[in-house]
Structure 1
Amino acid sequence: MAGHWKTGASVTESPHSIGSDWPLASIPDTQVRPLSVDGTTYRISIALPGGPTPAGGFPVLYLLDADAGFATVVETHRRLSRRPDATGVAPAVIVGIGHGGGGLYDPGRRERDYVPRALQSSHTDGAEAFLNFIETRLKPDIGATLAVDPRRQALIGHSLSGYFTLWTLVRHPGAFQSYAAISPSLWRDEGLMADIPAIRGDISSVFIAAGEWEEALAPWQAEHANSADIARRRAERRMVSNARTFAARLGDHIGAGRVRFEMFPDQDHASVFGVAINRALRMVSGPHLT
């Protein structure tokens, strides 16, 4: 399955020297390569599953913001998929899409890629162009190189990329069969929820999650000098309420059994990803996809 991909993807790339006599840490059975479109380059990281290839190919999970979350998702998935009978998580290929700027996030490129053109002040390429890159460049490249099943594809995102995940679900529901949106920034697009009734197509599963302290001030922030501003902003953005309402309305439309919402106690916008990803993996790569 390795094909032309470069194996041994680095867990992190630090601008600080850690000694040339020590090798960089890497995740076994992972691969990385740049993939460019119209002068823009993405860092594509891939984790290969163990075991025999299913007759139709492995499910494939496309992970957004992979510069920040690839290692977390790969190691969580591998721990769970060792015993699918016990955990409900099946082996799958994981394809991470990163901006490759050296940090966890590239705010400018996230804005350009995850927000629709009409909602951007600069009206750059937008979410439409980014989804087109995934559909017409990345997926064909993955399909030509690895044994994956195009009928079992999932999209996973957090925060702004979680919003893009739900935007894709609403605007282009046939792009993937399953979706996982952790802490989706639905406040960016008030009209998205209203268009849920227009969704057509066979969607297998949708997982939506948020943390308790995304809509209220966490106890450890009470003494911050700007705590009032933080509390006001969180109340205005309604991260938990929006996610819960979106899930309820989506369940009414496509069937409640296909949609799951979870609010994780004592978690904030950053910490909830590591806690929620195991539930997300069970939802989007479970037995119903095998």
Structure 2
Amino acid sequence: MATIPDTQVRPMSVGGIDYRISIALPDGPVPAGGFPVFYLLDADAGFATVAETHRRLSRRPDATGVAPAVIVGIGHGSGALYDTRQRERDYVPKGLQPAGEGGAEAFLDFIETRLKPEIGAALPLDPRRQALIGHSLSGYFVLWTMVRHTRAFQSYVAISPSLWRDAGLETDIPAIRGEISRVFIAVGEWEEALAPWQAGRGDTNDIASRRAARSMVGNARAFAAKLGGHIGAGRVRFEIFPDEDHASVFGIAVSRAMRILSEAHLT
């Protein structure tokens, strides 16, 4: 089994729910005030990608613009790459789920009152430089947190956010209260239409219809534009990555996000 250097794993649980917390530690001296910290959702699927990308880029901050930071991955305890049931519980608020279901509020409370204090007590972190990163449904949770609980983090990265799940989130942007340093929203070119390599499959009509209905690109673009109008266009970055789809865009967008977050932490 391959291991990632300078990482550690800490199991945590709350209310009978298990989490796997993976931590990547940076090289070099601790900056004045502590290291920036990036909290990564869906870490069972993305921690290795993000940790290795950041480790490679932050070796040469003079060339890449990526500064050292601590990465804290929040994974589910089941061991599945994506645990559908637990993702629906943690990333979706009660108002969007059947009565009594949906636990985004409780999940954010776990991050704020359990995870952050424990990690902050063990590592030299700067609480003024915290970012939340998510993809797909967890990307929606990132934007939901930003709109509804703005002060939880200073920067937000939402890759392919599932905004189709909550048409009302964009309309609540004017209610945002609190300082936001940077927001990066990214999608792949083929998230709203059939990708060329999918042509000729028997289910192409279903795929094309589903993608058109979800309007991943259009929703993300509109959300970013409205957000920029509210908090300042210079704080919001929106990108469509050519020739990428919902799955493939994650790796390339993470690399770009590292530089954007470092810009926020250096200004």
Larger Rg: 1
Q: Deviations over 1:209-262 (max 9, x none)?
A: 000110000111111111001101100000001001111110000000000000
**Equivalent residue letter for 1:165:** V
| Distance across 1 between alignment mates of 2:265 and 2:86 | 34
Identity %: 77
Post-superposition shift, 1:55? Answer: 1.5
Gaps of 5+ in 2: none
- Listed as ranges, the matches of 1:154-165 within 5 Å are 154-165=131-142
Partner of 1:239: 216
| Distance across 2 between alignment mates of 1:46 and 1:207 | 22
Task: Describe the SS at the equivalent of 1:286.
Answer: helix
Partner of 1:249: 226
Contact kept? 1:156, 1:181, Cα under 8 Å: yes
Partner of 2:36: 59
| Distance across 1 between alignment mates of 2:113 and 2:96 | 23
1:116 pairs with 2:125: no
- Listed as ranges, the matches of 1:142-153 within 5 Å are 142-153=119-130
**Equivalent residue letter for 2:127:** P
| Distance across 2 between alignment mates of 1:55 and 1:165 | 28
**Equivalent residue letter for 2:61:** P
| Distance across 2 between alignment mates of 1:130 and 1:289 | 30
1:169 pairs with 2:127: no
Task: Describe the SS at the equivalent of 1:86.
Answer: helix
Partner of 1:16: none
**Equivalent residue letter for 2:226:** R
Q: How many residues are matched?
A: 267
Q: Deviations over 1:24-62 (max 9, x none)?
A: 211011000111111111000000000000120000000
1:181 pairs with 2:146: no
Partner of 1:286: 263
Partner of 1:207: 184
Post-superposition shift, 1:122? Answer: 4.9
TM-score (norm 1): 0.90
Q: Would you identify which runs of 4 or more consecutive aligned residues in structure 1 move more than 2 Å? A: 122-125, 285-290
| Distance across 2 between alignment mates of 1:257 and 1:52 | 30
2:106 pairs, out of 115, 129, 142, with 129
Contact kept? 1:88, 1:287, Cα under 8 Å: no
**Equivalent residue letter for 2:151:** G
- Listed as ranges, the matches of 1:51-90 within 5 Å are 51-90=28-67
**Equivalent residue letter for 1:228:** N
| Distance across 2 between alignment mates of 1:46 and 1:110 | 20
| Distance across 1 between alignment mates of 2:69 and 2:196 | 39
**Equivalent residue letter for 1:47:** A
Gaps of 5+ in 1: 1-23
Q: Deviations over 1:181-219 (max 9, x none)?
A: 000000000000000011111100000000011000011
| Distance across 1 between alignment mates of 2:37 and 2:82 | 23
TM-score (norm 2): 0.98
Post-superposition shift, 1:287? Answer: 5.9
